[in-house]
């Protein structure tokens, strides 16, 4: 087989066979196909899409690029949660410890910042000492002791996703339903889960800008999961403005901690509770979803999720004190404030622009070998619907490098739309699929 022939056929909109897809994924993972050819193939997929058969074959090949993890020796339902990517989306760090506190085991395989969106691994690694590159034995140990453990793709688990994810991030090929579904579902199926709650984001800060595309992605992932005997539910949720107030790695750890202490932003708290409830329900800890909602709410009030997150941080080598002493986390040395140019209502905060600005400040990557700056980010002081006067503070930019500030400021100023009319309230949870 010649890579160039497969690229050409995909570029022309043809369907590739499962053998051809498998060959591509295997050869790329082994380093036998150069990045420039794989990038070209991904761009062809971006424009031509993939059939359900091709996506199924891609998921299978990506799982087979590493080991299938057997967690059956660890008692309890194994339920994970995954987001398709958003701005300020730190719900994993809230929903997972709440579900773990309810008795669910959460073996989480997370990703890094992708495009303008953040990644749970980068957020967690802003905690001094915390490791996400656990060996499988360490991962099993944390999972059975704490009930919640987080790793990334590695040499052993879906290494193909690790390589493809980084390549997509630096070649503008992230926003493809097929590639997102294959990336997420391969990681999740490799873990031998019992259930999975998906948060499919839609809106300016999401990879899917239209609800119809988000629904298609949700249906695709639910179908792949069901074919593999996985209990799956997907929520389609609004990502037109950032979730919560903090955007940036260490700042999002601080906000997750505040939310687990029940003093977080309303939108973040509400969505995290719903995701936790669905994890608890899929884990069959309760008989009804309403009981699961009540349980998640009570666990939040008892600070049980907060204690669970602390346990997990300590078990993965991090300093758990950072969750109440924020000065122990990386803090950016400089701050720049943006004020409202006029009186009115905040009518929109373009999440993609805020995400891009934050990535530009150093919270994300330009090239796959770049490292992120854990301290930088944006803190929103006003959210959509807020009434502001001229000169009121809209947000604070936390930055470390003067040269990166100017363009970020422009983007953030453009992201805010101030209007004289009060915007209509938007639903946060738009649909449930599955």
DSSP code of residue 114: B
Q: Residue 304, interface with ligand URA (CB under 6 A)?
A: no
C-beta closer to ligand URA: residue 116 or 245: 116
Site for ligand URA (CB under 6 A): which residue of 111, 264, 320, 374?
111
Does 161 qualify as catalytic in the annotation? Answer: yes
C-alpha span between 3 and 425 (Å, rounded): 50
Q: Residue 183, interface with ligand URA (CB under 6 A)?
A: yes
Question: Shortest gap between Cβ of 181 and ligand URA (angstroms)?
Answer: 8
Please, which residues bridge with residue 339 across strands?
393
C-beta closer to ligand URA: residue 179 or 395: 179
Question: Shortest gap between Cβ of 351 and ligand URA (angstroms)?
Answer: 15
C-alpha span between 140 and 147 (Å, rounded): 10
Does 226 qualify as catalytic in the annotation? Answer: no
Among candidates 63, 82, 140, 192, which has minimal Cα distance to 316?
A: 140
Q: Residue 39, interface with ligand URA (CB under 6 A)?
A: no
Q: Alpha carbon 411 to chain centroid distance?
A: 22
Does 183 qualify as catalytic in the annotation? Answer: yes
Q: Residue 91, interface with ligand URA (CB under 6 A)?
A: no
Q: Residue 85, interface with ligand URA (CB under 6 A)?
A: yes
Site for ligand URA (CB under 6 A): which residue of 29, 65, 84, 233?
84
* Given 65, 83, 126, 183, the catalytic residue: 183
C-alpha span between 313 and 325 (Å, rounded): 14
C-alpha span between 43 and 46 (Å, rounded): 5
Question: Shortest gap between Cβ of 84 and ligand URA (angstroms)?
Answer: 5
Among candidates 193, 158, 162, 164, which has minimal Cα distance to 178?
A: 164
Q: Residue 120, interface with ligand URA (CB under 6 A)?
A: no
Site for ligand URA in 136-155 (CB under 6 A): none
Number of residues lying near ligand URA (CB under 6 A) = 8
Question: Residue with the closest Cβ to ligand URA?
Answer: 183
C-alpha span between 210 and 202 (Å, rounded): 6
Question: Shortest gap between Cβ of 219 and ligand URA (angstroms)?
Answer: 16
- Check: CB of residue 416 under 8 Å from CB of residue 354: no
* Given 80, 89, 122, 161, the catalytic residue: 161
* 415 burial level (CB within 10 Å; 0-12, 13-18, 19+): buried
Query: Which phi and psi angles does 329 have, rounded to 5°?
Result: -90, 160
Q: Residue 118, interface with ligand URA (CB under 6 A)?
A: no
Tokens (6 digits) for 386: 């807020």
Q: Residue 177, interface with ligand URA (CB under 6 A)?
A: no
* Given 140, 187, 356, 396, the catalytic residue: 187
Question: Shortest gap between Cβ of 109 and ligand URA (angstroms)?
Answer: 8
Stretch that binds ligand URA, among 120-128, 180-188, 251-259, 424-432 (CB under 6 A): 180-188
Stretch that binds ligand URA, among 178-186, 272-280, 347-355, 374-382 (CB under 6 A): 178-186
Q: Which residue's entry shows tokens 């996506």?
A: 55
Question: Shortest gap between Cβ of 168 and ligand URA (angstroms)?
Answer: 7
- Check: CB of residue 113 under 8 Å from CB of residue 298: no
* Given 78, 90, 116, 168, the catalytic residue: 168
- Check: CB of residue 197 under 8 Å from CB of residue 282: yes
Q: Residue 59, interface with ligand URA (CB under 6 A)?
A: no
Q: Residue 184, interface with ligand URA (CB under 6 A)?
A: yes
Question: Shortest gap between Cβ of 169 and ligand URA (angstroms)?
Answer: 9
| CA distance between the termini of the chain | 38
Among candidates 310, 320, 304, 316, which has minimal Cα distance to 103?
A: 304
Cα–Cα distance list, 117 to 120, 171, 207, 353 (Å): 10, 15, 9, 10
DSSP code of residue 427: P
Catalytic positions, written as ranges = 82, 161, 168, 183, 187
**Given the rule CB under 6 A, which residues bind ligand URA?**
84-85, 111, 114, 179-180, 183-184
């Amino acid at each position: 087989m010649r890579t160039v022939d497969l690229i050409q056929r995909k570029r022309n909109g043809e369907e590739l066979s499962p053998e051809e897809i498998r060959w591509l994924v295997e050869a790329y993972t082994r380093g036998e196909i150069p990045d420039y050819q794989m990038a070209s193939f991904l761009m062809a997929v971006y424009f031509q899409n993939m059939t359900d058969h091709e996506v199924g074959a891609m998921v299978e090949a990506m799982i087979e690029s590493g080991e299938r993890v057997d967690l059956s020796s660890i008692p309890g339902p194994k339920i994970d949660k995954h987001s398709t990517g958003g701005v300020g989306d730190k719900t994993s760090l809230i929903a997972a410890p709440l579900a773990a506190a309810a008795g669910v085991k959460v073996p989480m395989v997370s990703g890094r910042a992708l495009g303008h969106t953040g990644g749970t691994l980068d957020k967690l690694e802003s905690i001094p000492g915390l490791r996400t590159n656990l060996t499988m034995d360490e991962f099993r140990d944390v999972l059975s002791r704490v009930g919640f453990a987080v790793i990334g793709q590695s040499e052993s688990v879906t290494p193909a996703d690790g390589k493809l994810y980084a390549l997509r991030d630096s070649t503008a090929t992230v926003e493809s339903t097929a590639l997102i579904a294959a990336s997420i579902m391969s990681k999740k199926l490799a873990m031998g889960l019992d259930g999975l709650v998906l948060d499919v984001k839609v809106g300016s800060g999401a990879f899917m800008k239209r609800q119809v595309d988000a629904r298609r992605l949700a249906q695709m992932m639910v179908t792949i999961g069901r074919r593999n005997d996985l209990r799956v539910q997907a929520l389609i949720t609004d990502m037109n403005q950032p979730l919560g107030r903090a955007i940036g790695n260490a700042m999002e750890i601080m906000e997750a901690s505040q939310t687990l202490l029940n003093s977080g932003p309303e939108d973040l708290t509400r969505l995290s509770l719903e995701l936790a409830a669905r994890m608890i329900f899929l884990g069959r800890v309760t008989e009804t979803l309403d009981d699961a909602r009540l349980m998640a709410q009570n666990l939040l009030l008892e600070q049980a999720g907060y204690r669970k997150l602390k346990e997990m941080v300590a078990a993965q080598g991090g300093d758990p004190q950072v969750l109440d002493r924020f000065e122990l986390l990386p803090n950016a040395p400089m701050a720049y404030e943006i004020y409202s140019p006029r009186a009115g209502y905040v009518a929109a905060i373009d999440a993609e622009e805020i995400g891009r600005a934050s990535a530009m400040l150093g919270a994300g990557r330009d090239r796959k070998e770049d490292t992120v700056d854990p301290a930088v980010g944006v803190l929103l002081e006003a959210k959509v619907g807020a009434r502001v006067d001229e000169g009121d503070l809209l947000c604070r930019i936390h930055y470390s490098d003067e040269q990166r500030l100017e363009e970020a400021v422009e983007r953030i100023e453009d992201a805010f739309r101030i209007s004289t009319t009060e915007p209509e309230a938007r639903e946060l949870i738009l649909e449930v699929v599955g």
